[in-house]
Chains A and B, each alone.
Chain A
């Protein structure tokens, strides 16, 4: 009796399962290719940012998000909505960021993420460009009397887990035949706190991060950023694969800001430059031609970005450069014609 009852169960179970085979497949249609429409329908951009990194993404004393990564999201929002504030910021730890993008929780990940081969090939993501050229460095206490990272053999190093930093660290010590102890934390905040409490001899992250984290230490002057840069860290925004229109939109939001700087268009003079006779300026600001259409935007998308957010140089200056507490030099992030690496293809 028992045997018969259970075999009956399985027969029915199997039949039912087979009968419904078609449904789930029909349901799982491609939702990835229409990001712009979703953003427009929702009325806001969902932007994944750092949980708090001065210069890149940090809420100010009034609760407004500021930073160079935030400005990129504001540029996208300005291009779509003619309003730089139609954004839902989603603060993400390094560990959770890619999952949030893969799963569709956010539309764009603008969170000082390093562009690497495996992240594009294995994670199903695409980097749209580089908004900050960085490299990994070390910070130590001055009283250790260390002047080079090569003297760090045997040191304990605090690091944020799930980052390229963690991997570069292992590579660097291995290739230089040095021993070390890694202490990995889920967030940069916990890592820097442990370093501050003396658990580690050194703290490592991208150099820009070292400068901005140093502000948080109990006595910032006691710490020193070592001169070595041990890796290439091209930081930039990422999107999901499979939506070329959205990929282009995010990519060109950054390029518009770069081109604006190159052409000398600023937040302050953008209205006046509408009257310009220079063809590049007229195309960028949408006076001539309709370059926004293929991106799903209005012709004046470039004007909107500069009007609301400013050009790349302005954004850099107020978040990271002389206009900020960090005072980071342009260095590699200067425009190509000023000795840096920032280069944007033309709008035409």
Chain B
């Protein structure tokens, strides 16, 4: 505290209150004390843990990161083998699996949540009642129970691989998952992608031109039809010109299971279903609240101006409802991501299952592994909410 007077020396105007009575100085002092206490507490905890860990011969470093893992994981988005991959690689696999299920979960939950939220407000008695029942049942039962239910509900009725259900297009369904043909892109397929890029740019150009044309001459261009033609036609043309460089690897039953093709694991489906259906119920309530928050006068006024119902919703009600919806929606997205860690109970190899489960157990580095896992969830949540805040700022009422 001896440094405090030095800081105030430059500030000596006689009639003023002395600095130690000034608000800023007292504020700063308390802040500093609090910060010091916090830093000391954290430091003491870390030091205490590391001293005790060393005393018990438990590793305190991160040396395990580059050691070979020696175990296998079934669903891997990046290459992983028990022979050559490290614990660090296992971390990547787990992280990507978490992000995969969170990403698709958020999309499905949003779409479903919006539909159900709107359905709850429907004038159709049946639709509104069904939506209410859905929300009440899903919201009021534990998520873990629902996940176990979906895992068993997904698995139980499916046949074993030798009696797979064959769906049109070489798609097979059994209790090991859904097997779909995998596209194999040949040389020259990049032309198709380039054509798609050009088509998208061309679409924006046409859209701007059409808008200007409408303002200047009140003529309307059929933008939708032109866009469809561009975005489908151009890549299709390029694809055919390049000699259709695309083949399919179809799944074939060999031995115990199917080989080839892309496989969607039942654990993934169960987790995705469980998480999105659960979160959708909460999102539905948020959407309902958002729509109800828009004053009835707004839609009446829009109707009076002759806006058709679709545009009334799109241009008047939803933009205003979004301002109420986005902040709690962010919470739901974060919840979904964090709830994905329940994957461990149904054998889906997410970050917690692979890293905070197997890796922790094989290395014994409990403190390090758990700290890393917590930091990862923190970063994912902060990035998600930063993105949502950015979106919120764009949608927020411009105040003057």
Which residues from chain A sit less than 8 Å from chain B, CB to CB? Answer: 1, 4-13, 15-17, 20, 23-25, 27-28, 30-32, 94-95, 98-99, 102, 118-119, 122-124, 144, 152-156, 158, 161-163, 166-167, 169-171, 173-174, 180-186, 190-191, 194, 197-199, 201, 240-242
Contact = CB atoms under 8 A, between A and B. Distances in A.
A237 to B, nearest CB: 17
Contacts of B170: none
Given A122-B59, A242-B55, A8 B361 contact: no
Interface string B318-352: 00000000000000000000000000111101000
Given A8-B28, A182-B74, A184-B358, 19 more contacts: A1-B24, A5-B28, A11-B3, A15-B2, A15-B36, A17-B39, A24-B44, A124-B53, A124-B57, A124-B58, A154-B255, A158-B347, A170-B70, A180-B72, A181-B74, A183-B74, A186-B357, A194-B155, A241-B57
A171 B53 CA distance: 31
Contacts of A240: 56
Contact of B175 (A161, A181, A199): A199
B354 to A, nearest CB: 8
Contacts of B232: none
B55 to A, nearest CB: 6
Contact of B256 (A30, A98, A155): A155
Contacts of A167: 70-71, 82, 362
A8 B31 CA distance: 10
27 contacts: A12-B32, A12-B36, A16-B36, A16-B39, A17-B39, A17-B40, A24-B47, A28-B48, A98-B361, A102-B58, A124-B57, A154-B256, A161-B357, A162-B361, A162-B362, A166-B358, A167-B362, A171-B70, A174-B83, A181-B257, A182-B72, A186-B345, A186-B357, A191-B347, A198-B160, A198-B175, A242-B55
Contacts of A16: 33, 36-37, 39-40
Given A16-B40, A162-B362, A156 B257 contact: yes
A200 to B, nearest CB: 9
A96 to B, nearest CB: 8
A16 B42 CA distance: 13
A44 B307 CA distance: 78
A154 B257 contact: yes
Contact of A197 (B48, B175, B345): B175
Name, among B27, B256, B344, B366, the residue most crowded by chain A CB atoms within 10 Å (CB to CB). B256
Nearest to A162: B361
A30 B55 contact: yes
Name, among A167, A184, A241, the residue most crowded by chain B CB atoms within 10 Å (CB to CB). A184
A162 B356 CA distance: 10
B360 A95 contact: yes
Contact of B3 (A8, A118, A181): A8
Nearest to B155: A197
B73 to A, nearest CB: 7
Contact of B82 (A9, A17, A24, A174): A174
Contact of A95 (B25, B58, B357): B357
A185 B36 contact: no
Contacts of B256: 144, 152-156, 201
Nearest to B57: A124
Contact of B361 (A4, A161, A173, A180): A161
Nearest to B359: A162
Contacts of B31: 9
Contacts of A99: 360, 366
B1 interface: yes
A193 B44 CA distance: 45
B168 interface: no
A312 B44 CA distance: 47
B349 A9 contact: no
Interface in B67-84: 70-74, 82-83
B3 A154 contact: no
B353 interface: yes
A124 B56 contact: yes
B2 to A, nearest CB: 8
B347 A183 contact: yes
Nearest to A98: B364
B275 to A, nearest CB: 18
Contacts of A12: 1, 3-4, 29, 32-33, 35-36
A144 B256 CA distance: 9
B162 to A, nearest CB: 10
Given A122-B364, A197-B175, A198-B175, A17 B152 contact: no
A197 B82 contact: no
A25 B74 contact: no
Contacts of A156: 74, 176, 256-257
B156 interface: yes
B51 interface: yes
B14 interface: no
B63 to A, nearest CB: 10
Contacts of B4: 8, 12
B150 to A, nearest CB: 13
Contact of A4 (B7, B37, B43, B363): B7
B113 interface: no
A161 B94 CA distance: 14
A161 B359 CA distance: 10
A123 B363 CA distance: 7
A15 B1 contact: yes
B155 A28 contact: no
B254 interface: yes
A6 B7 CA distance: 11
A153 B4 CA distance: 74
